C-alpha cells in the first residue's frame, strides 16, 4: 500500500508566533487587562526601533556636533519620530527586564514619552504595569519575546502595525462579548472603506474604537496611488482605555488624527 505524502509544514507568521508566545505568559490575567500589557510593549518596541534608527542617522549626518543634535526633540519630530529620553528607550528597558521593579520602569517610560511628545497626550496607560499585578519574571520574559520581533522585521513600514492589529483582533476574540467596543472585524471595515472611497476630504468616525476605520482608509489611499495628506482624520471614543488603544494604533501607523483631545 502506497504511503501518503506528508503534508508540507506550514510556516507560522511572526504575528502568530508572537501571539502564541505572549499568550503563554498571561497566567490568570484576563484578556481585557492583558491586551494593554502586550500592546503597550509593542508600542515601546516600535518607538525604540524608530528612535535608534534616527539617532544613528543624526550621528552620521552631523559628526562632531551630533551629541547636541541627538538630544533635541525637534531632530526627531521633523521626521515623525518620537523623541525618547534615555530611560524610555527600548535598550534601557531590555537592560532592566529582569529587575523586580521592571513594572515601575515601564510605567515611568510610558509617562515620560507622553510628556516628551505632545501628539501622544492621553495615549499612554497610567501606572498600569504597577497596578495590573503581572509577575515581574513573566513580564521580563514577555519583553524578551517582543524584543525578538526585530529578527523577523521586513523592510515594510507596516510591520509593527500588522503585529499590533493581529494581537488586537485576537484579544477581541478571546474577550467575546463586549469586544465590539474597540474592534470591528477587518472584513467589515474593509467593505465600508471600499464603499465610501476616502480619497480626499474628512474621514470622521463618531465611535472610532481602536481606530480601524482610519487605518483601512489610509491603506485604501495608498493602494490607489493617493496621498494620505489629502484626508483629515477625526474621531471620538467614549471609553478611555479604548481611546488609548486608538491613539497608539494610529501612532504606530504614522496617522495624524484629532480624536477630540
Write the pLDDT tens digit of every residue in 73-130: 999 988 889 999 999 999 999 999 999 999 999 999 999 999 999 889 889 988 999 9
Confidence of residue 182 (pLDDT cuts 50, 70, 90): low
Q: Are the beta carbons of 237 and 207 closer than 8 angstroms?
A: yes
pLDDT reported for residue 2: 53
Residues facing residue 79 across a β-bridge: none
| DSSP-assigned beta bridge partners for residue 233 | 203
Segment 143-169 mean pLDDT: 84
Q: What is the pLDDT of residues 33-50, one digit of tens each?
A: 899 999 999 999 999 999
**Integer Cα distance of 106 and 104 in angstroms:** 5
What is the structure's pLDDT at 203? 92
Q: How far apart are CA 221 and CA 215, in angstroms?
A: 10
Strand, helix or coil at 60? helix
What is the predicted pLDDT for the residue at 8?
54
Closest CA to 124 of 135, 134, 132, 112: 112
| Predicted model pTM | 0.87
Angle at 126 between CA 164 and CA 177, to 5 degrees: 55
**Count of other CB atoms within 10 angstroms of residue 249:** 26
For 131, the enclosing helix (H) or strand (E) is helix 128-132
pLDDT higher than threshold 60 for residue 3: no
Amino acid at each position: 500500500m502506497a504511503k501518503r505524502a506528508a503534508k508540507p509544514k506550514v510556516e507560522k507568521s511572526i504575528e502568530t508566533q508572537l501571539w502564541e508566545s505572549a499568550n503563554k505568559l498571561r497566567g490568570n490575567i484576563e484578556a481585557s487587562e492583558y491586551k494593554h500589557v502586550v500592546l503597550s510593549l509593542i508600542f515601546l518596541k516600535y518607538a525604540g526601533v524608530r528612535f535608534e534608527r534616527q539617532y544613528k542617522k543624526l550621528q552620521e549626518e552631523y559628526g562632531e556636533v551630533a551629541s547636541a543634535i541627538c538630544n533635541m526633540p525637534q531632530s526627531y519630530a521633523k521626521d515623525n519620530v518620537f523623541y525618547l529620553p534615555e530611560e524610555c528607550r527600548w535598550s534601557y528597558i531590555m537592560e532592566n527586564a529582569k529587575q523586580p521593579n521592571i513594572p515601575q520602569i515601564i510605567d515611568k517610560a510610558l509617562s515620560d514619552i507622553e510628556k516628551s511628545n505632545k501628539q501622544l497626550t492621553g495615549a499612554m496607560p497610567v501606572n498600569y504595569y504597577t497596578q495590573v499585578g503581572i509577575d515581574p519574571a513573566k513580564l521580563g520574559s514577555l519583553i524578551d519575546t517582543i524584543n525578538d520581533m526585530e529578527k523577523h522585521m521586513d523592510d515594510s513600514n507596516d510591520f509593527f502595525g500588522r503585529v499590533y492589529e493581529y494581537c488586537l483582533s485576537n484579544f477581541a476574540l478571546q474577550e467575546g462579548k463586549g469586544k465590539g467596543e474597540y474592534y470591528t472585524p477587518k472584513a467589515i471595515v474593509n467593505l465600508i472603506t471600499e464603499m465610501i472611497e476616502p480619497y480626499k476630504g474628512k474621514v470622521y468616525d463618531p465611535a472610532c474604537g481602536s481606530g480601524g476605520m482610519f487605518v483601512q482608509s489610509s491603506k485604501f489611499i495608498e493602494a490607489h496611488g493617493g496621498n494620505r495628506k489629502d484626508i483629515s482624520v477625526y474621531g471620538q471614543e467614549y471609553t478611555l482605555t479604548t481611546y488609548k488603544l486608538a491613539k497608539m494604533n494610529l501612532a504606530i501607523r504614522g496617522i495624524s488624527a484629532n480624536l477630540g483631545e
